[in-house]
A and B are shown apart, each in its own frame.
Chain A
Amino acid sequence: MKERVGIVGIGVTGFNSVSPSLSFKELTYTAAVKAYGEAGLHPKQIDSFITASEDFMEGYSIFDEYVPDQMGAVMRPVHTVTADFLQALGVGCMMINTGRFTTIAVEAHSKASNVKTLDEVQAFALDPVYLRPLKENAKFVAGLEMKCFLEMTGNTEEQCARVVVKNKKNSQKNPNAAYGAELSVDDVLNSEPISTPLKRLDVSERADGAIMVVLASEAEARALCKNPIWIDGIAWFSGNGNLWSRNIAEADYARLAMRKACSMAGISDPRKELHFAEICDEYSYKELQHLEALGLARKGEAGYLTESGVTSLDGDFPVNPSGGSLGVGHTFEASGGMKLYEAVLQLRNQAGARQVKDAKRCLVQSWRGVPTATGAVAILSNE
């Protein structure tokens, strides 16, 4: 990146399984007011706005129509990317690096509880010619991936279950989390099979919530804020778009995005130079698969790291101190944002009972869910 970009304001609502008292506009407004408040800016002082959303998650044909008002962005340059929050954040960094924009607001939210036929929406993302006629629940893709990943690497179902136990435990300390629980490995292993080897408790549950971040150029961030959190590197990548010709055992998109983000941030040994990570755990095996793809664990080692407590909150390299999607809830396009929020809290030393000691630099990673092979990586620091 030509110049690093600062986070000068961040706002979230809590994450809950439902949010019946607020409309999507009111939910987003709540997060936006907090973010602008932290930044000390009126939305009129924001140069441009980005929303990350998908039409069918909102139940609109063109959801872009419904975003400006609740961001204070009426008659302003606003655009949508149909992508994860971290990708939108990356676009915001790019916009600042053009030199044409100084401050950017990035928003994403989930009203997944309003989607009554979520499985149908997910199935609707499958290729209409090759995959949809099979009439399988879209989670079959996760089952395929999990099976293949475990076979190829030697990681085990039990180790996947340990990810669930760890993350749900972490989220008990997170006031924003919806799905904290004290579970045993057996609870997970004995839960109902979904797409073997994937079981019900391997799958994160949906949650509602909104997040907004205010970005500023390096100079502006220093002027606005005593301790901005810096985005040192950010990149998104896609693997093979076709499920049937993809390397499903390995998350290529995460490997590629990590390489680029590390080179932007000048990182050569991520495991040593980073202090914790918030990575996508929409399904339990994904945390292990991503750890290996990101180079934070060697091939076949991620399960062992989990088992031996390295990735626990008090371990050498905490992974998902927030509780991740498994503990906080899965927020679809906003899920990278939920994880980014945790990273910002940690780097500001504001994570309370979850605080990772001496956290100065970290990684946030997202994945767009089945059936995609698209994800993003951001590397953040506090100095």
Chain B
Amino acid sequence: MGYRKVAIVGAGITKFVRRAEETGPEMAYLASKMALDQAGLKLKDVEMITLGTAPDAFDGVHMKGEYLLSGAGGNGKQYIRNFVGGGTGVFAPIHGWMHVASGACDVCLVVCSEKMSSCHPHPQGAFLTIFDHTTEQPLKPTLIWIFALEMRRYMETYGLTKADIARVAVKNKNNALDHPSSQVADTVTLEDVLNSEVLAEPVHRLDISPASDGAAAMVLVSEHVAKRLTDKPVWIDGVGWNLDTAYWATKDLYYPRYVEKAARMAYEMAGITEPHKQIQVAEPYDPFDYKELHHLEGLLLCERGDAARLTAEGYTARTGNLPVCPSGGALGVGNPIAATGLMKVIEIFLQLREEAGKRQVPGKPRVGLAQAWGDLMQVGTVIVLRR
């Protein structure tokens, strides 16, 4: 069945920083303004807006969507906030796709803004209350627990070493040296990662992406508007999302089955039957280094348990057969949750237009995807773009 086509025609992004001087609404404004400028549009041309941002607990504002509204251009407009935890950044353009594909509007602004530094003493504190209030919170869990649990299960299942995993951090952090938004611009070696502070074995500090402040935005339009604005539209070809059970400890953490379900939904829509051959550049979510491997397998871009070997062999390097996180990903550019997901979609948008500058992957890719993960090992969000 044919759907109303939806194109991306402009993108904006701020620098990702440890502590922004700007407020959340100001950050949203900077990214939105840049996206509209790039698209050659004014705010008055925008009919509807969807905003993505992760927990209210970061900013310390109840109804954060309403708080960010004016910065995202929402005054006097149809504006709504979508929220699927960490998966929000890639879900936001999926939500935007709904707006345009349904015919509800021709021009939709998608904004993601995240100010994590407002949360004291540390943004990690906001994560205590993601666990079940009655059956888990009394154990005083931390967010890192669950990653360490999942990482160990994944390593044990396939017999992987710490070095197998750490190569992802090395690749992405070094890719990020070429990204203008990058928060941490340092060359990183395998030894640096392996020797960094142990937070929760097997997770070391450099296995984790840094908490950041940042914003990103993009403009989605219908086919006839796209033709008027640009000769290089990038089309949203497939969208998929999936939410697994809240009883997270009752499923085997070695494999993200919800990412596979989300990917299959997007592939079916995009007519992709052999993703490992048809997807030419990918931005899976990498808040922790093992997550990139986990997600590559869930996205059916490689065999289960094979992602570490492919990484070691350079298959996922920017010049490899399947460049993965050429942007530098969350590990390198920084991880202002929702803005990171949208940064990844923007990276694929630029790569397909061959406008990624020093980060451009070879071979004139025509099809790429971005993916994010969220909640308690539960949400997969996948978007497939085509030039």
The reply, when asked whether chain A contacts chain B directly with Cβ atoms under 8 A, is yes
Residues of A within 8 A of B (CB): 1-2, 54-56, 59-62, 64-69, 73-83, 87, 91, 93-100, 121-122, 124-125, 127-129, 235-242, 252, 256, 260, 368, 371-372, 374
- Interface-located stretch among B38-46, B77-85, B217-225: B77-85
Q: How far is the CA of A64 from the CA of B246 in the complex (A)?
A: 9
Find the A residue at minimum CB distance from B24: A128
Q: How far is the CA of A260 from the CA of B62 in the complex (A)?
A: 28
Question: Which of the residues B69, B95, B130 comes within 8 Å of A62, measured between beta carbons?
Answer: B130
- Is A238 a contact partner of B103 (Cβ separation < 8 A)? no
Can you list 25 A-B contacts (CB < 8 A)?
A2-B102, A54-B62, A59-B133, A60-B129, A61-B128, A62-B54, A62-B374, A64-B379, A66-B132, A66-B246, A75-B245, A75-B257, A78-B243, A81-B83, A82-B63, A87-B80, A94-B98, A100-B1, A124-B62, A125-B62, A125-B63, A127-B67, A237-B78, A237-B79, A252-B76
Q: Using Cβ atoms and an 8 Å threshold, which residues of chain A touch B69?
A: 238, 241, 374
Find the A residue at minimum CB distance from B82: A81
Most chain A CB within 10 A, of B62, B69, B246, B379, is at: B62
- Is A125 a contact partner of B61 (Cβ separation < 8 A)? yes
Q: Using Cβ atoms and an 8 Å threshold, which residues of chain A touch B76?
A: 237-240, 252, 256
A60 in contact with B242 given A94-B98, A98-B98, A99-B1 (CB within 8 Å): no
Q: Mark B94-109, 1 if CB is under 8 A from A, else 0.
A: 0101110111100000
- Is A240 a contact partner of B75 (Cβ separation < 8 A)? yes
- Is A77 a contact partner of B66 (Cβ separation < 8 A)? no
Q: Using Cβ atoms and an 8 Å threshold, which residues of chain B touch A374?
A: 66, 69, 79
Question: Which of the residues A83, A100, A121 comes within 8 Å of B3, measured between beta carbons?
Answer: A100
* Nearest chain A CB to B332 CB, angstrom units: 25
B235: Cβ under 8 A from any A Cβ: no
- The dominant DSSP class at the B interface is mixed
B265: Cβ under 8 A from any A Cβ: yes
Q: How far is the CA of A237 from the CA of B374 in the complex (A)?
A: 28
Residues of B within 8 A of A (CB): 1-4, 23, 25, 54-57, 59-67, 69-70, 74-85, 91, 95, 97-99, 101-104, 118, 126-130, 132-133, 240-247, 257-258, 261-262, 265, 269, 374-376, 378-379
Q: Using Cβ atoms and an 8 Å threshold, which residues of chain B touch A60?
A: 129-130, 133
Q: Using Cβ atoms and an 8 Å threshold, which residues of chain A touch B62?
A: 54-56, 121-122, 124-125
Q: Using Cβ atoms and an 8 Å threshold, which residues of chain B touch A124?
A: 60-62
* Nearest chain A CB to B131 CB, angstrom units: 9
Question: Which of the residues B3, B66, B97, B257 comes within 8 Å of A372, measured between beta carbons?
Answer: B66
* Nearest chain A CB to B109 CB, angstrom units: 13
Question: Which of the residues B67, B95, B375 comes within 8 Å of A64, measured between beta carbons?
Answer: B375
Q: Using Cβ atoms and an 8 Å threshold, which residues of chain B touch A252?
A: 76
Q: Using Cβ atoms and an 8 Å threshold, which residues of chain A touch B2?
A: 99
A68 in contact with B63 given A2-B103, A240-B70 (CB within 8 Å): no
Q: How far is the CA of A77 from the CA of B84 in the complex (A)?
A: 11
Question: Which of the residues A56, A77, A87, A122 comes within 8 Å of B243, measured between beta carbons?
Answer: A77
Most chain A CB within 10 A, of B4, B84, B132, is at: B84
Question: Which of the residues B61, B74, B82, B97 comes within 8 Å of A80, measured between beta carbons?
Answer: B82
A65 in contact with B246 given A55-B56, A100-B269, A368-B66 (CB within 8 Å): yes
* Nearest chain B CB to A14 CB, angstrom units: 24
Q: How far is the CA of A241 from the CA of B76 in the complex (A)?
A: 9
Q: How far is the CA of A78 from the CA of B4 in the complex (A)?
A: 22
Q: How far is the CA of A87 from the CA of B65 in the complex (A)?
A: 13
Q: How far is the CA of A2 from the CA of B99 in the complex (A)?
A: 12
Q: Which 9 A-B pairs have the closest CB atoms?
A: A241-B69, A241-B70, A97-B102, A124-B62, A78-B243, A125-B62, A94-B102, A65-B375, A98-B101
Question: Which of the residues A64, A125, A240 comes within 8 Å of B84, measured between beta carbons?
Answer: A64
Q: How far is the CA of A98 from the CA of B101 in the complex (A)?
A: 5
Q: Could you list 6 further interchain pairs (A-B, Cβ under 8 angstroms) beyond the known A60-B129, A99-B3? A: A60-B130, A68-B245, A68-B246, A99-B2, A241-B69, A242-B70
Q: How far is the CA of A100 from the CA of B5 in the complex (A)?
A: 12
Q: How far is the CA of A236 from the CA of B78 in the complex (A)?
A: 6
Q: Using Cβ atoms and an 8 Å threshold, which residues of chain B touch A241?
A: 25, 66-67, 69-70, 74-75
Q: How far is the CA of A61 from the CA of B75 in the complex (A)?
A: 27
- Is B74 a contact partner of A125 (Cβ separation < 8 A)? no
Q: How far is the CA of A2 from the CA of B105 in the complex (A)?
A: 11
Q: Using Cβ atoms and an 8 Å threshold, which residues of chain A touch B118?
A: 128
- Is B245 a contact partner of A74 (Cβ separation < 8 A)? yes
Q: How far is the CA of A61 from the CA of B79 in the complex (A)?
A: 22
A77 in contact with B242 given A61-B126, A240-B76 (CB within 8 Å): yes
Q: How far is the CA of A9 from the CA of B199 in the complex (A)?
A: 50
Q: Using Cβ atoms and an 8 Å threshold, which residues of chain B touch A83?
A: 65, 80-81
Question: Which of the residues B77, B84, B97, B376 comes within 8 Å of A237, measured between beta carbons?
Answer: B77
- Is A62 a contact partner of B85 (Cβ separation < 8 A)? yes
Most chain B CB within 10 A, of A1, A242, A256, is at: A242
